[in-house]
């Protein structure tokens, strides 16, 4: 086999010190795009250890003039908790990869990963509790392909080598071949290093079969040409508005609405102060209403750029709750539930939040976690207010702030309930956690799921052969599709399932497609399913902050998937995972992204912002009679809502 060098890293290009990590990592990365600061070489970290302040995981060290990288954080348990650094090309097929490894805790595990698809799908040769093992990982678990006792020590460094040729896998340690197996589950993939305990890795090399490499290059070139060809078919982002957010900017806690009774859009931006424990009991400290030129309509509280970020929702919505043609602002602050006049910010009505019965709660009254506008009363528009704690109980009020009912979730309320009239009686039911609840706050049924909590929910006509379906992502419980009778039709354990969206991503297929993405431990793996819940493709995006929102960009009935605002890693992909729309090199902010029709032509604009600036993009073309779609209403904004784009029903 004629070989050529594909990759080499002896870590000499790094300075001795910490490998870069995201100091703000945690729930921020669920819906904010942030990158590791500093030089990361050719590597990326798909399994960051989450924490409210970020966690240092790897460090560059030197001994006797030779540099290496060391995992230097807490010991993990179980091969399915592997901490990974990955690199290389997904198209690599037949290759020989080698690495020097020293495991500093022999009762644990560390090794070399190859034909890596994502952090849940790969092969690995490793030391594991006194044995040498070759195993295959997939989202369902671990399959050991070969194993033997091996008397390794923490004092020695060992040369690992794996040779992949077709379905044949050869495994070597210190120039001795220990295993040769055949398995064709993964025919291509990147390489990675992985460990559960302190371990050192160095002198990593990949040599590829020349013919195989040439075929990989050809496949990559063909894909790039295909993407370029597709990109030419789409309108380009045209910068429409820029707004200076001065000292009142915030992260992804903004709302859109019509505050003055006209068709003009306004933006309400919330800053907050954290208290008690992390972000669980934040208080809105400043609320600012502006128009699309950045002019301030009103402001409540004192702005402070240090209060810009929160890893949760804040309790405020913009909604015409009384039907007078003007949007009001419904908010909770200082243990009061309030309705503000949209044009001025003056309080129209208020009531104390409910008294809490939980002995572990830090306040006498509820510090509201989030607000949803609903129609439990059956008047045909949202006049009722749903508030909740974290993560158990919900309370409903009418437009006069009169208490209606309360409900305690069977397992967990999750982050943000979904309400819709699913039985046709003219009143909205509530799906929260795993429970379907009547408009009077009584449980109708509950899905047979006992752990974790639901992060996001969508309900709609996804499969044309069925009635409406419920799609949820629920952390370690994965992605699920259920019918309106409480039967789980599809359940796919995909890692920590975090976000979900539904759109017409593949117009050539029947029905709509479902997009889901992972976070927390195995982050950034996008899954696209057909209307029946069958997986079409999946790919690890190598970044956090992918909001996977459907975008009616072209107006021709197809939806694109918005990743994030990054110039390098963001943009919009189509249902074939082709990057078809990129953002321009204009210095735009990348932290936050939102999708909303602001120009009124049915096609969506893209709003990108950080705590200082906001850029709004529209299409660079004009289109006659674009297709309009049904999107999540602006009066129920949330960082934890499953997004959708349904064909609009004909009047």
Segment 594-598 mean pLDDT: 98
Contact 146, 134 (CB under 8 A): yes
Q: Is the pLDDT of residue 478 over 80?
A: yes
Contact 427, 404 (CB under 8 A): no
Segment 331-354 mean pLDDT: 98
Segment 356-367 mean pLDDT: 94
Q: Is the pLDDT of residue 52 over 70?
A: no
Segment 312-338 mean pLDDT: 97
Sheet architecture: strand order including 456-460: 456-460, 469-473, 479-482, 488-492
| pLDDT score at 419 | 98
Q: Is the pLDDT of residue 107 over 90?
A: yes
Q: What confidence tier does 565 reach under pLDDT thresholds 50, 70, 90?
A: very high
* 3 state DSSP class of 82: coil
- Could you tell me how many residues make up the chain? 651
Contact 190, 85 (CB under 8 A): no
When the pLDDT of each residue in the chain is averaged and rounded to a whole number, the result is 95
CATH class of segment(s) 3-19+56-231:
mainly beta
Residue with tokens 């509820």: 366
pLDDT in tens, 238-251: 999 999 999 999 99
**Residue bearing the bigger pLDDT, 27 or 502:** 502
Segment 393-409 mean pLDDT: 98
Q: What confidence tier does 145 reach under pLDDT thresholds 50, 70, 90?
A: very high
Is it true that the peptide bond before 391 is cis, omega within 30 degrees of 0? yes
CA distance 286 to 296: 13
Report long-range pairs for 630-635 (Cβ below 8 Å, ≥24 apart). 631/550, 631/552, 631/595, 631/596, 631/597, 631/604, 633/382, 634/255, 634/256, 634/257, 634/318, 634/596, 635/257, 635/317, 635/318, 635/319, 635/320, 635/327, 635/373, 635/382
Within 10 A of 55 (CB to CB), how many other CB atoms are there?
16
- 373: β partners: 385
Question: How many percent of the chain have pLDDT more than 90?
Answer: 92
Domain 447-651 has CATH 2.130.10.10: yes
Residue ranges of the domains in the chain?
Answer: 3-19+56-231, 447-651
Sheet architecture: strand order including 131-138: 83-87, 190-195, 109-118, 121-128, 131-138, 141-149
**Residue bearing the bigger pLDDT, 649 or 353:** 353
CA dihedral 142, 143, 144, 145 (to 10 degrees): -140
pLDDT in tens, 631-642: 999 999 999 999
Q: Is the pLDDT of residue 651 over 60?
A: no
Q: Is the pLDDT of residue 208 over 60?
A: yes
Shortest CA distance to 344 belongs to which of 406, 402, 296, 303?
296
Handedness of CA 488, 480, 138, 107 (dihedral sign): negative
Q: What confidence tier does 22 reach under pLDDT thresholds 50, 70, 90?
A: confident
Q: What is the DSSP letter of 453?
A: -
Segment 55-78 mean pLDDT: 93
Segment 29-54 mean pLDDT: 84
Segment 168-186 mean pLDDT: 98
Contact 291, 264 (CB under 8 A): yes
Q: What confidence tier does 56 reach under pLDDT thresholds 50, 70, 90?
A: confident
| pLDDT score at 493 | 96
Q: Is the pLDDT of residue 51 over 70?
A: no
**Residue bearing the bigger pLDDT, 29 or 603:** 603
Beta-strand runs (E) in 358-432: 370-374, 384-388, 393-397, 403-408, 418-420, 429-432
Segment 446-475 mean pLDDT: 97
Segment 466-472 mean pLDDT: 98
CA distance 566 to 587: 10
Alpha-carbon Rg for the chain, nearest whole angstrom, is 26
CA distance 391 to 315: 14
Handedness of CA 69, 72, 78, 82 (dihedral sign): negative
CA distance 171 to 147: 11
Q: What confidence tier does 558 reach under pLDDT thresholds 50, 70, 90?
A: very high
CA distance 480 to 99: 40
Report long-range pairs for 338-345 (Cβ below 8 Å, ≥24 apart). 339/399, 339/401, 340/300, 342/257, 342/258, 342/259, 342/260, 342/266, 342/289, 342/318, 343/259, 343/260, 343/261, 343/297, 343/298, 344/297, 344/298, 345/287, 345/289, 345/297, 345/298, 345/299, 345/300
């Amino acid at each position: 086999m004629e070989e050529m060098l594909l990759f080499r890293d002896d870590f000499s290009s790094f300075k001795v010190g910490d490998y870069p990590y995201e100091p703000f990592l945690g729930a921020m990365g669920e819906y904010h795009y942030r990158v590791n600061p500093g030089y990361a070489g050719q590597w990326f970290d798909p399994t960051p250890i989450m924490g409210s302040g970020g966690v240092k995981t790897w460090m560059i060290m030197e001994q006797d003039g030779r540099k290496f990288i060391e995992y230097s954080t807490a010991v993990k348990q179980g091969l399915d908790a592997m901490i990974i650094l990955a690199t290389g090309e997904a198209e690599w097929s037949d290759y020989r990869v080698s690495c020097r490894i020293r495991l500093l805790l022999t009762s644990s595990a560390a090794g070399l990963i190859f034909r890596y698809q994502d952090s849940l799908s790969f092969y690995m040769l490793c030391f594991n509790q006194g044995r040498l093992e070759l195993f295959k990982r997939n989202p369902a678990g671990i399959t050991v392909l070969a194993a033997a006792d091996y008397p390794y020590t923490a004092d020695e460094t060992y040369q690992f080598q794996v040779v992949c040729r077709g379905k044949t896998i050869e495994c070597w340690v210190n120039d001795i071949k220990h295993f040769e197996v055949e398995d064709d589950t993964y025919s291509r993939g990147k390489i990675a290093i992985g460990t559960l305990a302190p371990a050192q890795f160095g002198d990593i090399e990949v040599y590829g079969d020349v013919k195989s490499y040439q075929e990989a290059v050809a496949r990559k070139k063909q894909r790039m040409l295909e993407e370029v060809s597709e990109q030419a078919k789409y309108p380009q982002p045209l910068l429409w508005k820029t707004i200076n957010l001065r000292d009142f900017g915030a992260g992804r806690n903004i709302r859109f609405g019509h505050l003055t009774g006209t068709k003009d859009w306004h933006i309400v931006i919330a800053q907050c102060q954290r208290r008690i424990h992390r972000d669980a009991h934040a208080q809105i400290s400043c609320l600012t209403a502006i128009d699309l030129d950045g002019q301030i309509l009103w402001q409540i509280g004192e702005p402070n750029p240090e209060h810009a970020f929160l890893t949760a929702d804040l309790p405020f919505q913009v909604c015409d709750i009384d039907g007078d043609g003007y949007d009001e602002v419904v908010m909770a602050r200082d243990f009061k539930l309030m309705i503000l006049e949209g044009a001025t910010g003056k309080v129209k009505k208020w009531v104390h939040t409910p008294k809490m019965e939980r002995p572990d709660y830090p306040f006498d009254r509820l510090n509201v976690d989030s607000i949803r506008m609903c129609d439990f009363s059956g008047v045909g528009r949202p006049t009722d207010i749903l508030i909740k704690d974290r993560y158990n109980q919900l309370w409903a009020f009418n437009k006069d702030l009169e208490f209606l009912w309360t409900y305690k979730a069977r397992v967990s309320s999750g982050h943000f309930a979904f309400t819709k009239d699913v039985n046709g009686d003219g009143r909205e039911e509530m799906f929260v956690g795993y429970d379907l609840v009547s408009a009077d706050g009584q449980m109708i049924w509950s899905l047979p799921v006992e752990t974790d909590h639901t992060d996001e929910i969508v309900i709609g006509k996804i499969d044309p052969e069925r009635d409406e379906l419920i799609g949820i992502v629920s952390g370690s419980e994965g992605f699920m599709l259920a019918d309106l009778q409480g039967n789980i039709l599809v359940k796919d354990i995909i890692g920590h399932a975090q976000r979900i969206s539904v759109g017409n991503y593949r117009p050539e297929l029947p029905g709509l497609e479902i997009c889901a993405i992972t976070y927390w431990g195995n982050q950034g793996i996008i899954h696209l399913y057909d209307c029946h819940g069958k997986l079409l493709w999946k790919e690890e995006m190598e970044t956090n902050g992918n909001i996977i929102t459907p975008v009616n960009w072209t107006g021709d009935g197809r939806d694109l998937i918005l990743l994030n605002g990054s110039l390098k890693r963001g943009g919009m992909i189509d249902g074939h995972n082709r990057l078809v729309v990129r953002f321009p090199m204009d210095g735009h902010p990348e932290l936050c992204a939102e999708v909303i029709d602001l120009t009124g032509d049915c096609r969506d604009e893209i709003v990108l912002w950080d705590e200082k600036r906001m850029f709004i993009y529209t299409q660079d073309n004009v289109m006659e009679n674009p297709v309009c779609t049904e999107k999540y209403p602006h009066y129920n904004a949330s960082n934890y809502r499953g997004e959708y784009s349904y064909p609009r029903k004909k009047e």
